[in-house]
Amino acid sequence: MTAGQQRKVQRAIHVVAALALLAYVYAPLEAQLQDLVRVLVFPLLAVTGIAMWQAPRIRRALRAVHEPERRDSNPATSGVTGQYGGRASERL
């Protein structure tokens, strides 16, 4: 999923959750729906808002976590290199 697609999905979820919260505040809802808004919608609204706000920082952190995995999976860079370059087994 590209960053643009991710933003579109987060915005859509955020708008739907905000509309549900507005319905909770301005319209009388049944007790079951009130519990749903308190337990699911409000936290979802907070999480998507924070995710949109901090998206670049989150992406950088995830990239830093996955970066060592990418380096280790490259066969050209794996192995021990010596002072003069090349693998130790190639110098013997």
Instruction: Supply the pLDDT for residue 34.
Output: 84
Amino acid identity, residue 82? G
Q: Which residue has the higher pLDDT, 9 or 32?
A: 9
Instruction: Supply the pLDDT for residue 3.
Output: 80
Q: How far apart are the first and last CA of the chain?
A: 47
Q: What is the three-class DSSP state of 81?
A: strand
The pLDDT tens digits for 33-78 are 888 888 888 898 898 889 889 988 988 998 888 887 666 565 555 5
**Model-wide pTM > 0.85:** no
